[in-house]
Structure 1
Amino acid sequence: MKNKLKILLAIGAISIVLTGCFDTNKHEDMDHSNMNMEQSEKSSEATATPKEAWGDNKLTQTTPAVDGKEYTITAQASHLKVSNDKTLPVWTFNNSVPGPEIRVKVGDTVKIHLKNELEEPVSIHWHGYPVPNDMDGIPGVTQDAVVAGKSFTYEFKATVPGTYWYHSHQDSVNQVDKGLYGTLIVEDPNESYDRDYTLVLDEWMSSGSMNMNKESEGDSSSDGHNMGDMEGMDHSQMGHGQSESKESESMDHSNMNMGSMGGHDMSMYDVYTMNGKTGDAIDKLIVKEGDKVRIRLVNAGYITHTMHLHGHEFKVIASDGQPVNSPAVITDQGMSIAPGERYDIEFTANKPGNWLLEEHGTDDRVKNMRTVIAYEGVTTQTDTSNAKEKLPAFDLTNYGKQAQTKFTLDQKFDQDVLMDLNTEMKDGKMVYTINGKVFPDTDKIKVDKGEKVKVTFVNNSMMDDHPMHLHGHFFQVLSRNGKPLEGAPVIKDTLNVKPGEEYVVAFEADNPGDWMFHCHDLHHAADGMVTDVMYKGYKSNYTPDPTVGNKPE
């Protein structure tokens, strides 16, 4: 009882602080539904803020982007109305979660001005995109985090088409959790779709006392307490994994280290969203009969989501932005999308009606991660959910047709690197290790430009998935559990390694710099599962400012 009282008192204190941190009247009814549902024919400037709105950049000296797209993205506190009866305090880019979709074409020079109106420093990392190292957005490694009232300009050439995303990499376990992310879509001039939708998957913490509906907003004496999502809490010590057990709901969470209890609890994330909305509030995807439709699925959260498209045959045409060779037509398979991963699907709208695209799983939370494929002019009832039905699992490693690749298992590599991934107790704390070490003491991968590097992932954690993400490079997946891949070449930047699994991947050191290599369950990264790929002889012009408080993870 004492522990429960302590928790309630702590939560009440957090709620009072939060009440003063957000302007609930300014943003409570903002509709974010159309921020990332733009079709490809619409101009990307629609979501960009003109540079003149806040003045010239004072921190960087870059040449004008004469042939591309220019955006201003402002980090600011706001509120996200996830449903008619639930509003959460969030951190946003341009007052939206997800932030504005940056949609450009191959060949464009992209120029993004980041302005910070938050009290905490922020940055932007271009997840999966091979930007120059000084544009990677890693505080203390490639740049200083942007402090309150300051700005920074990112500039790079859009060279590789596909579906990518961006997010803060400053204290990312907390800042991404609060909503600091958006999508980057680089269009291939050889591709054309009648409808091109982006769906960002995420999960949030909420409970009865965290309900920010109109009745409780502004009234700290009500049951709502204006708590929001406990956004003042430091999530970096939570020790989460992939288990969805609900046993912890009656436990003492005061130390937030779920790993020490023998299981990794994610049940506190009880609100699942697509593009910042949940359940019936999620916008329908409008199509008309005969349309060629592309849906880009991006997982910005910390839980793997298994998605199912009802009523249609479809193809998985890309993973992590990279095209799949000769994708086969499939139906009624569940696509597991791990944190940081992206999957693009394509289908022809040839079955008029109202069909679900929904998450599958046994947990009740999944029922709210769904949208409707709605045909224009069709008024039939939406088909019935079968979210708890077990479906055959889509297997990317045995899909599509083989093709010539850059790497093979039997070739000679310049380096052969082992990453033994594990969950361990060190000094009374649950940590996530690479070869028994935690960052910054993990062994660096030091390379010369042009080297070919083979990496073997072995997940020795009992319960935890580890979606491993390499900055600045793509890697090719060569084998899983000792068996060479049989389908199309699999090129990725984020690969989910489940407990007991072993993967062999390879990459070419073709982008000089200092790059992070880490688990994209950011709780795991914050508690140690990070290393670096460092180019020998690379010298950066950047010198960290010790007063900024850079937190690269």
Structure 2
Amino acid sequence: SDELTLVLSDIGFDKKGRLESPDSGGSAGMVFGREGEYLLVNGKNRPVIKARAGAPQRWRIVNAAKSRFFYLDMDGQAFHVIGGDGGLQESTMTMDGLLVTPGERFDVIVYPTGKPGTSLVVQAALYNRGYGSVEYRIPEDLLTIEFSNQPPMTIAPPPKVSRSIAPPVVAGATGVELELTLPPVSSGKSEFLVNGVPFWKAKPYLAKLGERQLWTVTNKTTWDHPFHLHGFFFIRLDEHGDPIRPLAWKDTVNIPMKKTVRLLVDFDERPGEWMFHCHLLE
């Protein structure tokens, strides 16, 4: 199969053709994040990929945008996810659309197909991550796949890619509660809080080397947060505390608005100070 690295991003300019000011959008921009009007793949706006219809391609995707969520839609054709942030996952997972939040990475197999000599457009579909993300907006073209005149290849079954990941033991993990809030303030400016305090007032969260912790992250705001942990990987758990299958090592995960996500973290090595943060880089 062809192998491609796809770096997704966006960029915006003011009326004079200069890069948009980093403080554009005011307090709303600080809360929601600033999105550029031009979508980029590997630094290009609406690039073209040439392929034979039905031929497998392996795409390694990273969202390098500072705020934009990319919800990829290949005209309903499947994405076969084989890995992500922490390498290959336990088994292949097939999806019709692929949400890639800022900072997140995916390793997928696709079989783009269509009539020889035609083209297929991959779009950034609408995804509701909070107020302002879908109102008065439409899906945007991201890249185009141009098919050669060769006869289409017969599409093979999804690849059986696997990795042996031992199911983690949840019992005995140290519980850590994180609550994300955005209270109104009298000055008209907004400031996100973690457990009731801004980051610059917060005390470090402690972990011992070799300790396993269960982080329960509750997002009480009306915007999604791409949650990123430096230095370590985690495995997601469901609402019952069971590992979500297929098992996958992650360091970035979306915390949907008004939802709770559970993360099992092994602090296996690398002592020192490590950051966790929302990956809206404003």
Please indicate, yes or no, whether the TM-score normalized by the shorter chain is above 0.5: yes
From 201, 205, 210, the equivalent of 2:8 is 201
Give matches, 1:8-27, under 5 Å: none
Q: How many pairs were matched up? A: 261
1:272 and 2:30 correspond: no
Give SS of 1:430's match: coil
Residues 308, 359 of structure 1: 8 Å contact kept: yes
- Give the deviation of 1:427 after TM superposition: 5.8
What is the match of residue 374 of structure 1? 146
Deviations 1:435-476 (A, max 9, x none): 011112223122221111211100011x21111111111111
- Give the deviation of 1:499 after TM superposition: 1.1
What is the match of residue 229 of structure 1? 19
- Give the deviation of 1:321 after TM superposition: 4.1
Give matches, 1:357-396, under 5 Å: 357-361=122-126, 364=137, 366-368=139-141, 370-377=142-149
The structure that is strand-richer by fraction is 2
User: Structure 1, unaligned stretches of length 5 or more?
Assistant: 1-193, 211-223, 239-255, 380-399, 524-553
What is the match of residue 257 of structure 1? 27
What is the match of residue 326 of structure 1? 91
Give matches, 1:409-488, under 5 Å: 409=170, 411-413=171-173, 415-426=174-185, 428=187, 429-461=189-221, 463-479=222-238, 481-482=239-240, 484-488=242-246
TM-score norm. by structure 1 comes to 0.43
Q: Give the structure with higher Rg (CA).
A: 1
Give SS of 1:257's match: helix
From 258, 264, 275, the equivalent of 1:506 is 264
Structure 1's 321 and 508: CA in aligned 2 closer, same or farther, altered over 3 A? closer
Aligned residue type for 2:143 = T
Residues 33, 281 of structure 2: 8 Å contact kept: no
1:286 and 2:50 correspond: yes
Residues 311, 351 of structure 1: 8 Å contact kept: no
What is the match of residue 297 of structure 1? 61
The structure that is helix-richer by fraction is 1
Structure 1's 448 and 345: CA in aligned 2 closer, same or farther, altered over 3 A? same
Structure 1's 314 and 483: CA in aligned 2 closer, same or farther, altered over 3 A? same
Q: Distance in 2 between matches of 1:469 and 1:457?
A: 12
Q: Distance in 1 between matches of 2:241 and 2:148?
A: 46
Q: Distance in 1 between matches of 2:110 and 2:9?
A: 24
Root-mean-square deviation (Å): 3.1
From 108, 116, 121, the equivalent of 1:356 is 121
Residues 403, 489 of structure 1: 8 Å contact kept: no
1:316 and 2:81 correspond: yes
Give SS of 1:202's match: strand
Q: Distance in 2 between matches of 1:359 and 1:290?
A: 22
Structure 1's 350 and 276: CA in aligned 2 closer, same or farther, altered over 3 A? closer
Q: Distance in 1 between matches of 2:193 and 2:203?
A: 11
What is the match of residue 520 of structure 1? 279
Q: Distance in 1 between matches of 2:166 and 2:271?
A: 22
Residues 459, 497 of structure 1: 8 Å contact kept: yes
Aligned residue type for 1:345 = V
- Give the deviation of 1:515 after TM superposition: 0.8
Give matches, 1:485-496, under 5 Å: 485-496=243-254
What is the match of residue 106 of structure 2? 343
Aligned residue type for 2:9 = D
What is the match of residue 164 of structure 1? none
Residues 235, 243 of structure 2: 8 Å contact kept: no
User: Structure 2, unaligned stretches of length 5 or more?
Assistant: 127-133, 152-160
Q: How high is the sequence identity, in percent, across the aligned residues?
A: 24
What is the match of residue 15 of structure 1? none
Q: Distance in 2 between matches of 1:311 and 1:446?
A: 45
- Give the deviation of 1:349 after TM superposition: 5.6
Q: Distance in 2 between matches of 1:329 and 1:434?
A: 34
Residues 312, 351 of structure 1: 8 Å contact kept: no
Structure 1's 329 and 205: CA in aligned 2 closer, same or farther, altered over 3 A? closer
What is the match of residue 154 of structure 2? none
Aligned residue type for 2:28 = M
Give SS of 2:249's match: strand
Greater RCO structure (CA 8 Å; 6+ sep): 2
